[in-house]
Amino acid sequence: MKKGYSDLSDGKIPKRTQKTFREWNKILDKFDIKEKGHTLAAKHLREKYNLSDWRSQVIAIKYEQMDNKKILICVDRDGTLIYDNKYYLGRTNNWRSKIKILKTVVKGLKKINKKLPEAKIYMITNQSGVAVKEFTLLTKKRAGEVCKAVIRRIKEKGARIDGYILCPHVSPKYAKESKLKFNKRFVCNCTCIKPSPGMVLEALKKEGFRKKDTNIYVIGDRKSDVETAHNISGTGILVPFKNESDEDMKLMRHKKNKSYRDKTYIAEDFLDASDFLFRREKQIC
Ligand SMILES: [Mg+2]
Ligand SMILES: [Zn+2]
């Protein structure tokens, strides 16, 4: 075997150069490898970073192999990040005191932040309470404040969420079947009601990521969260909420079909979900 060939196969490059391939990719992005091509990119690595000819070539080739995928992680709010008290958080003025971050959430997020620092994390949440007529205090603005407060609370504990997307709508079908009365302007068939992937698309847009260049994950406590991921060729991770009936979980465990299982993971808790995500990304790279 040609000398140094093992560098490509067994991952010695990150160890010997003190940088992961993703970090090298970032450097090559900055250099504009897509425009300048990999011969010039290798030359750049050789000259600026003092790498051997061989390693420079390997890193430039690996860039193309990895296709330099971005990572987008969308996380549901109620029942996943915070306790779901079925309360339509924000419909009363004392909502701040009712925010309760769920166990292992901060730990899991910190782990993602540290191990996959380039991954963007968005909270995506359907807040149908905004559409309910009698909840006069729960405006779209208020619902947004709740989201911001959750993100801030998590930040105070040392973890990062990059933003949130909120959908205040209910479908005409839901409105018809519910006992509650709704404001007409929030009743529509929008593409953001999970499992439709509208909010994931919006997060992609906010980050300037293209769907085909991005590994998408959705973490949530419902089957509809998992299916939101599937509907945009992503991976769905179910973190069952303890107070919820486990119907969804049973349903998913019994799916026999391999392709469904490959894009679905049922986690013990949020930390387990982030460990899975990290393992999956490591396999890919
Ligand atoms: Mg939920
Ligand atoms: Zn919507």
Dump the DSSP string for the chain.
Answer: --TTTHHHHS-HHHHHHTS-HHHHHHHHHHHTHHHH-HHHHHHHHHHHH---HHHHHHHHHHHHHHTT-EEEEEEESBTTTB---SS-TTSSTTGGGG--BPTTHHHHHHHHHHHSTT-EEEEEEE-GGGGBTT-TT--HHHHHHHHHHHHHHHHHTT----EEEEE--B-HHHHHHSSS-B-GGGBS--TTSTTS-HHHHHHHHHHT--GGGEEEEEEESSHHHHHHHHTTT-EEEE---TTS-SHHHHHHHT---HHHHHTEEE-SSHHHHHHHHHHHHHHH-
**Banded pLDDT at 134 (limits 50, 70, 90):** very high
CB atoms within 5 A of ion ligand 1 belong to 76, 78-79, 221
Nearest ligand, measured from the Cα of 168: 2
Ligand nearest to the CA of 130: 2
- Lookup result for tokens 């010695």: 12
> What is the structure's pLDDT at 94?
93
Which pLDDT tens digit goes with each residue over 209-242?
Answer: 999 889 999 999 999 999 999 999 999 999 988 7
Token output for 24: 């090298």
Contacts of 168 (CB under 8 A, 6+ apart): 127, 128, 130, 131, 140, 143, 186
Instruction: Give the Å distance between the CA of 224 and the centre of ligand 2.
Output: 15
How confident is the model at residue 1, as a pLDDT? Answer: 41
Confidence grade of residue 67 (pLDDT, cut at 50, 70, 90):
low
Surrounding residues of ion ligand 2, Cβ less than 5 A: 167, 169, 190, 192
Q: How far apart are the CA of 70 and the centre of ligand 2, in A?
A: 25
Q: How far is the CA of 206 from the centre of ligand 1 (A)?
A: 23
Phi, psi of 164 (to 5 degrees): -140, 155
Tell me which amino acid residue 151 is. Answer: I
> Comparing 39-48, 82-91, 135-144, which segment has the lowest mean pLDDT?
82-91
In angstroms, what is the span from residue 81 Cα to ligand 1's centroid?
8
The pLDDT of residue 273? 97
User: Using 50, 70 and 90 to split pLDDT, how confident is the model at 243?
Assistant: low
Residues 6+ away with beta carbon under 8 Å from 76: 123, 124, 125, 194, 218, 219, 220, 221, 222, 225
The predicted pLDDT at position 102 comes to 96
d(CA 167, CA 70): 24
More confident residue, 121 or 68: 121
pTM for the structure as a whole: 0.80
Domains of the chain: 6-66 (no CATH), 70-284 (3.40.50.1000)
Q: Which ligand is nearest to the CA of 128?
A: 2
- Mean pLDDT across the chain: 89
The percent of residues above 70 in pLDDT, for the chain, comes to 89
Looking at residue 249, what is its pLDDT? 67
Mean pLDDT of 85-109: 93
Residue-wise pLDDT for 161-174, tens only, equals: 999 999 999 999 99
Residue 234 has what pLDDT?
97
What distance in angstroms lies between residue 128's CA and the mean position of ligand 2's atoms?
A: 9
In angstroms, what is the span from residue 119 Cα to ligand 2's centroid?
25
